[in-house]
């Protein structure tokens, strides 16, 4: 290559993510009891089966009356019945009558207003009592009309919505017990490397505990996937393919860590070619995170993450989380926070930088971000101590303490 051509172009992060997501879709919907769907994504729109409230109800304890009978203080009414929550009064309120009523009870026919119990005097707490109006009411006061909250037939939730406890409360209230949600995707996690010892083992000379798989299995589970441990592939041709093919459940995504370069001991690229399927191998404009593989293995989408634990973890946040969301029928876009930088930073190079950082709040409640002093991509302790990634775009100018920068908070579970 001529000297003046410079290094080959790197793929921007957003483009890499778009390409990864393009090939992913949820596979199957299933019916699930509402109490089991926190974090699951609706496969269909949901309409209300019931109106809320189903009938006009009182918002207060008091008396259901006709406003026309209460236009002056000292007006007198006769108590003719009682409507309590779950025990409606089935008569009709006529001129000069009042029905004792409690919060949530159905407003009887004929009544159009609730007198607060504090605003009347009653001769007794029984039918036949005389009620004196001490405060003239506003017509219609303290009545929640039928359908105030939700009307039967209304669209209440759209397909693609991720269910939270509060949305479950809405669907339950509107008469549903089960909803159709997308199946949780099966995500296979495979480590690669001759130096790796399975967790629980004792590392011999030159060996380390394989931490990436447990991280990625936990990560995938926290994102709503069913994690599938595919074990450790040793650095030999065909090992990685064999591990994927030994999976006992159908996989929606295979995630590997390590072995993604084209070094003598890196075999993922060759194994993908051997599986006879498509391979996209990229150098991505991000740090940490190079190299990253995207392809298909036996027609299963594959994401090949770097081996260094922090590179692997940062790529999981940037690529795996949105990928699992897409396979689950939803979407994930990180919520970025604009924060004040607490120290100076040199100009950035051509790679988007994800600095391990701490996001805190100053006395005024404004976010302040402090990058960790050590940014080595092998240092899991630094990543474990971070609660955010300070994201610097390619060629970001030098920054000074006090400048505003963008931070991506790390999910507390990830
Ligand atoms: P590689 O991409 O295979 O060259 O790996 C890069 C670095 O990440 C090496 O120092 C590996 O030892 C380390 N590494 C690879 N896989 C794992 C793993 N599963 N757990 C911890 N470290 C790993
Ligand atoms: Mg390796």
CATH number of the domain encompassing residue 397: 2.40.340.10
pLDDT in tens, 379-408: 999 999 999 999 999 999 999 999 999 999
Identify the band that residue 236 occupies on the pLDDT scale cut at 50, 70 and 90: very high
Please compute the mean of the pLDDT values over residues 184-208 and round it to a whole number: 97
Q: How far is Cα 20 from Cα 221, in angstroms, rounded to an integer?
A: 20
Strand 279-282, strand 208-209: pairing: unpaired
Residue 151, in any domain of the structure: no
Q: Which of 90, 114, 144 is the last residue of a domain?
A: 144
Residue 98, in any domain of the structure: yes
Residue 35 has pLDDT above 90, yes or no: yes
| DSSP codes of every residue in 161-173 | PBP-HHHHHHHHH
Residue 375 has pLDDT above 60, yes or no: yes
What secondary structure letter does DSSP report for 350?
A: S
Q: What percent of the chain has pLDDT over 70?
A: 98
Ligand 2 centre to CA of 186 (Å) is: 24
- CA diameter of the chain: 104
Q: What percent of the chain has pLDDT over 90?
A: 90
**Is the same domain home to 199 and 308?**
yes
Residue 3 has pLDDT above 60, yes or no: no
**Is the same domain home to 194 and 294?**
yes
Please compute the mean of the pLDDT values over residues 355-369 and round it to a whole number: 97
**Is the same domain home to 126 and 266?**
no
Lowest mean pLDDT among 126-140, 174-188, 255-269: 255-269
Give the end-to-end CA distance of the chain in Å, rounded to a whole number.
Answer: 42
| DSSP codes of every residue in 102-149 | -TTPBPPBT--EEEEGGGEEES-SSTT-EEEE-SPPPTTTTEE-TTSS
Residue 116 has pLDDT above 80, yes or no: yes
Ligand 1 centre to CA of 323 (Å) is: 22
| Nearest ligand to residue 235 Cα | 2
Please compute the mean of the pLDDT values over residues 225-246 and round it to a whole number: 96
Q: Is 3 helix (H, G, I), strand (E, B) or coil?
A: helix
Residue 30 has pLDDT above 80, yes or no: yes
Identify the band that residue 275 occupies on the pLDDT scale cut at 50, 70 and 90: confident
Residue 2, in any domain of the structure: no
Q: How far is CA 231 from CA 110, 197, 350, in A?
A: 72, 10, 35
Q: How far is Cα 169 from Cα 61, in angstroms, rounded to an integer?
A: 25
Residue ID of nearest Cα to ligand 1 atom 14: 307
User: What is the span of the domain harbouring residue 302?
Assistant: 13-26+184-327
Residue written as token pair 């006769």: 78
pLDDT in tens, 41-89: 999 999 999 999 999 999 999 999 999 999 999 999 999 999 999 999 9
User: Looking at residue 261, what is its pLDDT?
Assistant: 78
Q: Edge-to-edge strands of the sheet including 97-101?
A: 113-116, 62-65, 97-101, 76-83, 130-133, 120-122
Q: Which atom of ligand 1 is nearest to the CA of 213?
A: 19
Lowest mean pLDDT among 50-64, 234-248, 282-296, 366-380: 282-296
Q: Which atom of ligand 1 is nearest to the CA of 259?
A: 3
Please compute the mean of the pLDDT values over residues 286-305 and round it to a whole number: 91
Please compute the mean of the pLDDT values over residues 113-134 and round it to a whole number: 98
- The rounded mean pLDDT for the chain is 95
Residue 94, in any domain of the structure: yes
If residue 217 lies in a helix (H) or strand (E), which one and from where to where? helix 212-222
Residue 272, in any domain of the structure: yes
Ligand 2 centre to CA of 236 (Å) is: 11
Residue 290 has pLDDT above 80, yes or no: no
User: Looking at residue 5, what is its pLDDT?
Assistant: 62
**Is the same domain home to 250 and 318?**
yes
Please compute the mean of the pLDDT values over residues 141-152 and round it to a whole number: 98
Please compute the mean of the pLDDT values over residues 8-24 and round it to a whole number: 92
User: Looking at residue 260, what is its pLDDT?
Assistant: 82
Mutate to test the pocket of ligand 1, among 258, 264, 310 (most ligand atoms within 8 A of CB): 258
Q: Which atom of ligand 1 is nearest to the CA of 257?
A: 16
Residue 37, in any domain of the structure: yes
**Is the same domain home to 191 and 305?**
yes
Burial of 342 (0-12, 13-18, 19+ CB in 10 A): middle
Ligand 2 centre to CA of 258 (Å) is: 5
Count of structural domains within the chain? 4
**Is the same domain home to 106 and 244?**
no
Residue ID of nearest Cα to ligand 1 atom 16: 307
User: Looking at residue 229, what is its pLDDT?
Assistant: 98
Identify the band that residue 147 occupies on the pLDDT scale cut at 50, 70 and 90: very high
**Is the same domain home to 189 and 249?**
yes
**Phi-psi label, residue 348: left if phi above 0, alpha if psi -120 to 50, beta otherwise:** beta
Q: What is the pTM of this model?
A: 0.91
Residue ID of nearest Cα to ligand 1 atom 1: 258
**Is the same domain home to 214 and 280?**
yes
User: Looking at residue 278, what is its pLDDT?
Assistant: 66
**Is the same domain home to 174 and 33?**
yes
Residue written as token pair 């009682």: 82
| Nearest ligand to residue 236 Cα | 2
**Is the same domain home to 309 and 322?**
yes
Please compute the mean of the pLDDT values over residues 301-325 and round it to a whole number: 96
Q: How far is CA 15 from CA 20, 40, 197, in A?
A: 9, 27, 35
Identify the band that residue 1 occupies on the pLDDT scale cut at 50, 70 and 90: very low
Question: Which residues, 6+ apart, have CB-to-CB distance to 89 below 8 Å?
Answer: 81, 82, 83, 99, 106, 108
Please compute the mean of the pLDDT values over residues 185-208 and round it to a whole number: 97
Residue 149, in any domain of the structure: no
CATH number of the domain encompassing residue 162: 3.90.105.10
Ligand 1 binding pocket, CB closer than 6 Å: 191-193, 195-196, 208, 210-213, 257-261, 306-309
Residue 8, in any domain of the structure: no
Q: Mind spelling out the 3-state secondary structure of 254-320?
A: EEEECCCCCCCCCCHHHHHHHCCCCEEEECECEECCCCEEEEEECCEEEEEECCCHHHHHHHHHHHH
Give me the residues paired with residue 176 across strands.
none
CATH number of the domain encompassing residue 275: 3.40.980.10
Q: Mind spelling out the 3-state secondary structure of 359-394?
A: EEECCCCCEEEEECCCCCCCCHHHHHHCCEEEEECC
């Amino acid at each position: 290559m001529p000297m003046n051509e410079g290094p080959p172009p790197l793929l921007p992060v957003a483009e890499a993510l778009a390409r990864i997501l393009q090939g992913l879709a949820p596979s199957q919907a299933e019916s699930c009891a509402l109490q089991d769907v926190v974090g699951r994504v609706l496969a269909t729109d949901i309409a209300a089966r019931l109106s809320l409230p189903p009938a006009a109800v009182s918002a207060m304890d008091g008396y259901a009356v006709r406003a026309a009978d209460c236009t002056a203080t000292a007006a007198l009414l006769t108590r003719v019945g009682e409507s309590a929550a779950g025990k409606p009064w089935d008569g009709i309120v006529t001129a000069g009558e009042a029905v004792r009523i409690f919060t949530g009870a159905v407003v009887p026919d004929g009544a159009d207003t609730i007198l607060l119990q504090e605003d009347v005097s009653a001769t007794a707490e029984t039918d036949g009592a005389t009620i004196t109006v001490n405060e003239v009411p506003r017509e219609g006061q303290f009545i929640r009309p039928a359908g105030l909250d939700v009307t039967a037939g209304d669209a209440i939730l759209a397909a693609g919505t991720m269910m939270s406890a509060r949305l479950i409360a809405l669907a339950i209230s509107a008469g549903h017990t089960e909803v159709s949600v997308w199946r949780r995707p099966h995500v296979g996690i495979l480590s690669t490397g001759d130096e790796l010892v399975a967790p629980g083992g004792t590392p011999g000379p030159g060996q380390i505990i394989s931490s990436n798989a447990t991280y990625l299995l936990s990560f995938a589970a926290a994102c709503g996937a069913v994690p599938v441990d595919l074990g450790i592939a040793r650095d030999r041709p065909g090992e990685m393919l064999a591990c994927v093919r030994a999976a006992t459940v159908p996989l929606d995504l295979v995630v590997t860590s390590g072995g993604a370069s084209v070094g003598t001991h890196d075999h993922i690229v060759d194994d993908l070619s051997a599986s006879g399927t498509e391979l996209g191998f990229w150098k991505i404009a991000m740090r940490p995170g190079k190299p990253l593989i995207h392809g298909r293995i036996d027609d299963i989408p594959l994401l090949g993450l770097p081996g260094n634990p922090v590179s692997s973890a940062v790529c999981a946040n940037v690529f795996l989380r949105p990928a699992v969301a897409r396979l689950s029928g939803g979407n994930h876009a990180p919520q970025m926070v604009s924060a004040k930088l607490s120290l100076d930073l040199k100009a950035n190079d051509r790679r988007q930088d994800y600095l391990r950082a701490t996001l805190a709040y100053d006395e005024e409640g404004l976010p302040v971000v402090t990058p960790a002093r050590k940014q080595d991509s092998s240092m899991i302790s630094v990543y474990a101590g971070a609660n955010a990634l300070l994201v610097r775009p390619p060629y970001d100018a030098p920054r000074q303490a006090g400048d505003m920068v963008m931070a991506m908070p790390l999910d507390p579970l990830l």
